Structure 1
Amino acid sequence: MSLIKNKKYLIIGPSGSGKSTLANVLAGFITNFDGEISVDDQVVNANDQMFDIVAYVNQSP
């Protein structure tokens, strides 16, 4: 998946399609996964770098 810089994205889909898992990986809550996350062609780790660019909002209060 590729995203355009300075854009905001909303991830929607049916129950069980992986939305929460993707959000948890991007937010750094899940670190054991296949593949990599890169920003501007630089691989980033699930650490403080990700917290600067990803926000996670849970739908449950």
Structure 2
Amino acid sequence: KTVLLITHDPQEAIRLSDTIYVLKNQPARLSEPIELSSAPPRQLGQQDLWLLQEQLLAQLIEGQHEN
């Protein structure tokens, strides 16, 4: 089964997803996929997940400044 989860919470996306896409600015387009290796649900205290959260936040900020 495939489930599409749309969220504004990067931690929720990391905790629950297998693959994350960031919707970039107008015209709307998807970022390169961010693949998560461990199975959900994940514990956010893990070092690799903090690094992933930083990567995801950087993509979100970058997407806001594109036009």
Select the structure with the greater relative contact order (CA < 8 A; seq sep ≥ 6).
2
With normalisation by structure 1, the TM-score equals 0.29
Q: Higher helix share goes to which structure? A: 2
